Amino acid sequence: QVSPEQVILSHSPLRLFSQFHQKCMLVAGQGPVEENAQNLGFKHVVTIEALRKAYPLLDMVDQSRRPKELPPPTTGFPTIEGVILFGEPVRWETSLQLIIDVLLSNGNPGAELKDIPYPHLPVLACNMDLLWMAEAKMPSRFGHGTFLLCLENIYKKVTGRELKYEALIGKPSTVTYRYAEYLIKEQAEKQGWKSPIRRLYAVGDNPMSDIYGANLYNNHLKSAHRNQDQAAVKKSLQAASPSTEDHLELRKDCNNSVESCESILVCTGVYRHNADVPSNTEECTTETVFHGHRDFCFDPSLVEASYIVQDVNDAVQLAFKKENWK
């Protein structure tokens, strides 16, 4: 049995961003994004479809959806105070257009545009994977990272300035791994586990997100143990990742019992080794093209997995073996 408290999705750490929970937030993605946002604590959310319905003249790419008559002026629509990007939407042109409109208008896309505000409204983005593996014979499908790439470049082309994120959430962001550590410790306490947790094992199929993030967090853990000065640790975390710990309003702070985060790469997804499981992990996982997000500097060592195994079952068995569990 797996309970919801044992599962982290890319957007789960948004529970910690309480400073935005009372603000009117535009939510983009697919599926029940409004319900998801409310379950995370957001009280006032507006969907892309609701925004499009309120301002039908904004969405003009698809000629079949253009208004046949001039609609009456929109009244009473709330001012948007921030944007949450849950994942890739279905109609990219509509979401790209309306999100840009909201950023350029400071949350009032029905108003006449005068000066472009900068810094723009807060943007919180989840799930940065450029590509993901599906059933197609072609290697990988566009992920939300590809959508973010489009949004960033359109904003810069229109304004001449960089799109800034309030936070990037999901792998490889440090905030996600720290949130995972917190939940693991919480689960251990519920099960009566008295021994301190020393090692975390992160299993994934994508070197540019799963392995990169695990290794990045491993570096943070090592830094924390080398230097007990919490101010210095906080400063290094902020410099290394666009997601800062200022947003982590945990009920209690994670102590320093965890010493490392081991990365385990499986060959059943984005990464597929042609032959058997390789013996030299460094030669096989180092990438020459960085598929990670713009705001994460590329370090080749961070995409080198601690271990490479065939599948998740082998990864779990490896962790058991490393921990001397029968």
Whole-number pLDDT of residue 131? 87
The pLDDT, as a whole number, for residue 292 is: 85
The per-residue pLDDT for 307 is 97
Model confidence band, residue 275 (pLDDT cutoffs 50, 70, 90)? very low
Q: Which of 69-73, 133-137, 177-181, 207-211 has the highest mean pLDDT?
A: 177-181
Q: Give the whole-angstrom CA distance, residue 209 versus residue 157.
A: 27
Among the residue ranges 4-8, 147-151, 184-188, the one predicted with the least confidence is: 4-8
Query: What average pLDDT does the segment 240-267 reach?
Result: 68
Residue 202 has pLDDT above 60, yes or no: yes
pLDDT reported for residue 51: 97
> Do 209 and 292 form a contact (C-beta atoms < 8 A)?
yes
- d(CA 222, CA 200) in angstroms, rounded, equals 13
Give the strand order in the sheet containing 307-309. 199-204, 260-266, 307-309
Does residue 290 or residue 202 have the better pLDDT?
202
Least confident interval from 39-53, 156-170, 285-299: 285-299
Q: What is the mean pLDDT of the chain?
A: 88
**In sequence order, what E strands does 7-122 have?**
24-28, 44-47, 82-85
Residue 4: pLDDT band with limits 50, 70, 90: confident
| CA–CA separation, 326 and 320 (whole Å) | 7
Positive or negative, the CA dihedral 268, 274, 280, 282 is negative
Residue 142 Cα distances to 134, 211, 222, 229, angstroms:
10, 19, 34, 41
Are the CB atoms for 158 and 101 separated by under 8 Å? no
106 contacts 50 by C-beta, under 8 angstroms:
no
Cβ pair 221, 258 in contact under 8 A: yes
What digits encode the pLDDT tens for the residues 230-251? 554 455 555 445 544 544 555 4
pLDDT band at 194 (very low <50, low <70, confident <90, very high): confident
Report the pLDDT value the prediction gives residue 156, as an integer from 0 to 100.
98
Name every residue whose Cβ is closer than 8 Å to that of residue 283 and which is 6 or more positions away in sequence.
none
Are the CB atoms for 122 and 26 separated by under 8 Å? no
pLDDT class of 271 with cuts at 50, 70, 90 = confident
Per-residue pLDDT tens digits for 203-233: 999 888 899 999 999 999 998 888 655 554 4
The reported pTM is: 0.83
Per-residue pLDDT reduced to its tens digit, 58-115: 999 999 999 988 899 888 999 999 999 999 999 999 999 999 999 999 999 988 888 9
Q: Domain locations in the chain?
A: 4-64+78-168, 195-232+254-274+287-323
Residue 134 pLDDT > 90, yes or no? Answer: no
Q: For the chain, give the percent of residues with pLDDT over 90.
A: 67
Helix (H) or strand (E) holding 200: strand 199-204
> Would you list the DSSP string of 268-307?
SSS---SSS--S-HHHHH--SS--S-TTS---GGGGS-SE
- Does the structural domain 4-64+78-168 have CATH classification 1.10.3720.10? no
Q: How far is CA 128 from CA 10, 24, 26, 87, 184, in A?
A: 9, 23, 19, 9, 23
Selected residue with higher pLDDT from 249 and 275: 249
Mean local confidence (pLDDT), 112-122: 93
